[in-house]
Amino acid sequence: MAEALARLHAGDVLDAHSAGSKPSGVINPVAIAAMAELGYDLSTHHSKSLDEIGTQEYDAVVTMGCGDACPFVPAKHRFDWNIRDPKGKTIEEVSHIRDFIDTKVRELANELCRVQSR
């Protein structure tokens, strides 16, 4: 959802990539439904591993609270948003998670744009 929200709100200034340390290979259908509420078709995405996103240094890396399964990804800035895992949650719960991510993505996009314009 974070990659999709970054594309929605800052796709002209950010190139977002979402990947996991242990991806399931399937996008959560409830997350697809939650994003559909915003008019975004998340079913066009696929579950990616960190091996698929490249090893370059990123401007920012955001973790969702990965604990001991948090591999190193080179980045200028690191953030841990401690996002609840939407797996097994209701549409209402996933919509709240989506809204939390949405707020954080917008804040990060604004901050990165400010830093880059200096």
Convert the pLDDT of each residue in 48-103 to its tens digit: 888 888 778 888 888 887 655 667 788 888 888 988 889 899 999 999 999 999 99
Residue 32 has φ and ψ, to the nearest 5°, of: -60, -45
Q: What is the CATH number of the domain that holds 70?
A: 3.40.50.2300
What residue has token string 């549409």?
91
pTM of the model: 0.85
What pLDDT is recorded for position 41?
Answer: 95
CB 81 within 8 A of CB 18: no
Domain span at residue 89? 2-117
- Burial per residue of 26-47, b for 16 or more beta-carbon CB atoms within 10 angstroms, e otherwise: ebbebbbebbeeeebebeebee
The rounded percent of the chain whose pLDDT value lies above 70 is 92
Number of domains the chain contains: 1
**Alpha helices, DSSP H only, in the chain?**
2-10, 29-36, 91-117
